Structure 1
């Protein structure tokens, strides 16, 4: 009973600034919190006739989905219980047929690569602007995306475009401009809005993807709302002419036939709460606190990422000569848990109900951390040498299953990658299975290995020739 013991004995840290965004229960949607106070198991129900499921025409779930579609300004709405991951895959399979090419950004979630494998799609990955101060990829401008689409179309037709907005760190670009550009090229847009369920609900936040005209939008209710992990929603834009039957067929392939009533209820409760008077007030207070925290940290001389979501605070620790993973370990030992450590940046998720004492304790902790680990030597990052748009030379599904071997980095040039390689930031693939490790990328990897010996392996898996 190791796992159960851990769950029973779990103690609340001093500052839980990680996902789920409900802050270990403090920010759960009130209706969901009331449900969880019921006797355990009462809500663990099957698809009874009066409840139904996401793909049923009758029952409480169907009625709830129709009501939420109207409330959010969507044509259709489907709840998911396999997180944003499963819904992103379903959206991708609804937009493209086997053998077709789909345009994906390098900061895609890995579930989309898995979706390409499942749907026998050809991924075309495109490069993004890069920030050398933080080591992060930035949102593309419409001009950048126009060049990307032109380069990708030169190699063949495209079935769809995937965009990520906002990013993990709360970065959002000109989404309406990007979507409009894609539509002029005849490309439907699947938007990974996993971190943006709260967008558009306060003037200080960017507009949501539905308002920007995206065809399909996926939101996670644990990343920016008061829902439980794995609760998510797939929305079809009001202007989308995609056949809903294609979406439901893809959902049937990928979602469980026994959806959790608790997670379905979590999705409804979180979406409704965000749009209630109480939820908007809670969001407003959290945004106020996030902006005050930013001001206090900047007054202490800390360099923060200029993002568009005040509930995501990213400290560019590289400006103080500090490795983000070492900073994360230092903070965790003192009860401060960040969400995402990266070599140049440490991201904190404030959630709808930021922890008590945040405005005092986090500045004090980061000040002490700088005194302990900081140096005058500012760390900077070089962008990986990536093509503007590129497909794997060997089909993704074939390369992922083919015999492979691990070789030293210095022997990898010219070989085909056998697995995704994501040096940093986490989850963003420098290489995907079937891509060739060209000379510049091999040299860049060796240099990163020298700079970050504990974060980058000295071997890479390649296909056996």
Structure 2
């Protein structure tokens, strides 16, 4: 058996997802369930238990209770991650052939939903942080520019998606942006996979949750930003712009008919944990510890980038001329395991567990890393993707995905239409989506990205034959 030893071995500081820190922060109720006889929790959709799409049973009661506690109309638990709920939400909002407004930092799951539903994405660019090569959240002034640049021909845009916060913990108050999009006639879905804790309502200056800012639909990953098991998520619905029957029909297309009772129990317990005094106190303590850790590391000379989520530490390796990918490779065998290596940074997810001695460990590892890569000049500023503010695809993603395709060398791909996603993972943000035509500037930019992303940017692209 090769898998079980890998699952149980020690991995140093677990600064990666799930946020429960390899069990250290699991809620008490879930711990008690897992201590019971092995497999006792592995149940089908018995009448008394029901399922996420059933009107009756314990799960339906749990979902109604969670929605009431959050102050929204409906919620549905999911057991195939935020991916399945995001896809179902988008398919419920937009009919085949209709347009949807998506930010360039959208997760690949929503591009895949466009393929599944024959939706026409209109992609909008985002502010770019050249010192780190990462997008920043859009504010109301930026969205106003986007709306002015939207295509005036063809089908209207029925829905819009926002990402709040980003993988690295960048966020702002999305209220004005959500309201402006709704005034434009859009139903608004917010991918808040990394921000469930924003909605917990603890006394800490976190950005507000999109749930409290009027979004129509919000998806939380309960393993990324709450203390649930991997694959768990929740979809929230409020307002009257979307019929919950449409949502349930879409969920029925993409959710398993045999959901894990253990994962559903994990959804409930993670949400209830923050309704209890103990859970809210633990979350506040983790947030305060994280802020103190960041301050201490900065004072020790460790370069951390500023963001809005204290539970994400972004090590700015590029300041020392080191890529995040090289730093990650060096840290891993030394017991410091991050979540997201990128060309100029390495993001650590502190999660909800306590990390004793982490300040000393990170400071020492950083100093040793500098000795291993000595006297390097800082990485130069990153080049923003050469994209217009708003882009429509040359073909629908569905057409491009299902068309005859061929492999073409990246250096020869100018003028071709992409047939597949080009998407470093993580973070899972597409650099190129099916149906996009590759102009010369973009093709050359992608070639330059190979210097930073290595083999995550392939030498050849799958393109539409004759496109």
Alignment correspondent of 2:360: 360
Match of 2:149, SS state, is helix
Alignment of 1:315-326 (within 5 A): 315-326=315-326
Quote the Cα distance in structure 1 between the aligned partners of 2:354 and 2:169: 16
Quote the Cα distance in structure 2 between the aligned partners of 1:73 and 1:208: 13
Quote the Cα distance in structure 2 between the aligned partners of 1:62 and 1:454: 46
Alignment correspondent of 2:25: 27
Change (3 A) 1:29 1:147: same
Shift of 1:455: 4.6
Quote the Cα distance in structure 2 between the aligned partners of 1:208 and 1:431: 29
User: Is residue 432 of structure 1 aligned with residue 430 of structure 2?
Assistant: no
TM-score (norm. length: structure 2): 0.95
CA contact (8 A) 2:342 2:453 kept: no
Match of 2:65, SS state, is helix
Change (3 A) 1:455 1:321: farther
CA contact (8 A) 1:322 1:375 kept: no
Q: Which of 147, 150, 160 is the matching residue for 1:149?
A: 147
Alignment correspondent of 2:169: 170
Quote the Cα distance in structure 1 between the aligned partners of 2:94 and 2:227: 32
CA contact (8 A) 1:100 1:121 kept: yes
Alignment of 1:308-347 (within 5 A): 308-347=308-347
Shift of 1:426: 3.6
Quote the Cα distance in structure 1 between the aligned partners of 2:171 and 2:374: 30
* Aligned length, in residue pairs: 462
CA contact (8 A) 2:393 2:435 kept: yes
Q: Which of 55, 61, 64 is the matching residue for 2:62?
A: 64
CA contact (8 A) 2:340 2:426 kept: no
Note the residue ranges of structure 1 that are not aligned, 5 or more in a row.
Answer: none
Root-mean-square deviation (CA, aligned residues, Å) is 1.6
Match of 1:199, SS state, is helix
Quote the Cα distance in structure 1 between the aligned partners of 2:454 and 2:186: 42
Deviations 1:47-83, CA, capped at 9 Å, x for gaps: 1111111111111111111111011111111111111
Alignment correspondent of 1:422: 423
Alignment correspondent of 1:12: 10
Quote the Cα distance in structure 2 between the aligned partners of 1:430 and 1:151: 21
Match of 1:133, SS state, is coil
Of stretches 365-374 and 438-447 in structure 1, the one that deviates more from structure 2 is 365-374
CA contact (8 A) 1:289 1:359 kept: no
Quote the Cα distance in structure 1 between the aligned partners of 2:17 and 2:426: 18
CA contact (8 A) 2:422 2:457 kept: no
Change (3 A) 1:279 1:47: same
Match of 1:289, SS state, is helix
Alignment of 1:163-202 (within 5 A): 163-200=162-199, 201-202=201-202
Match of 1:45, SS state, is coil
Change (3 A) 1:249 1:4: same
Alignment correspondent of 1:270: 270
TM-score (norm. length: structure 1): 0.96
Alignment correspondent of 1:129: 127
Change (3 A) 1:292 1:98: same
Match of 1:125, SS state, is strand
User: Is residue 387 of structure 1 aligned with residue 388 of structure 2?
Assistant: yes
Deviations 1:176-224, CA, capped at 9 Å, x for gaps: 1110111111111001010111104332211111111000000011001
Of stretches 283-292 and 368-377 in structure 1, the one that deviates more from structure 2 is 368-377
Alignment correspondent of 1:464: 465
Quote the Cα distance in structure 1 between the aligned partners of 2:437 and 2:221: 34
Shift of 1:463: 1.9
Shift of 1:101: 0.5
CA contact (8 A) 2:96 2:119 kept: yes
Following TM superposition, the consecutive aligned residue runs of length 4 or more in structure 1 with deviations greater than 4 angstroms are: 450-455
CA contact (8 A) 1:54 1:80 kept: yes
Deviations 1:282-320, CA, capped at 9 Å, x for gaps: 111111111111112211233322111100111111111
